[in-house]
Amino acid sequence: MDYQEVEGAREYVARLEHGQDWRAQIEAFAAEERIDAAFFMGIGAVSDATLKFYDQEQQEYDTLCFDEHFEMTPAIGNISWLGDERFAHTHVVLSREDGSTIAGHLDTATTFAGELYVREFEATLERYHDEETDLDLWPL
């Protein structure tokens, strides 16, 4: 396992905005605060969701669209550089009114409500193309 000891930097508590995209809000916040490396956890609810599933054999993303209301239980992710933008890599578990669930890599979701904790690090994490997986990963 490749790893890097990091110094903890700023910490934030956030309330996501109703009607706005979940992930785009986190990325806009990261840009505004110039956060170059962070992990976050959050909970909330969304009124739709588009997830992506990475096909490990074809090495490409399939897209799943759900036009339903969900609780977000939880969202876990991190912030790092991907090309010339800050990217919030976000995995979520979503639940329906009967308790049933879906989960995956979050592309977009319209926030109903959301609460987030962000832990920034004194570091710059940057994603580069990884040959083996065809994903953008951190060389640590």
Distance CA 126, CA 46 (A): 29
Site residues for a second copy, window 38-57 (CB under 8 A)?
Answer: 39, 41-43, 45, 47, 51, 53-57
- Residue 83 or residue 117: which is nearer to a second copy going by CB? 117
Distance CA 12, CA 118 (A): 5
Site residues for a second copy, window 7-36 (CB under 8 A)?
Answer: 7-8, 10-18, 20, 25-26, 28-29
Establish if 103 lies at the interface with a second copy (CB under 8 A): yes
| Phi/psi at 30 (5° precision) | -60, -40
Amino acid at 80: S
Q: By rule CB under 8 A, what count of residues binds a second copy?
A: 80
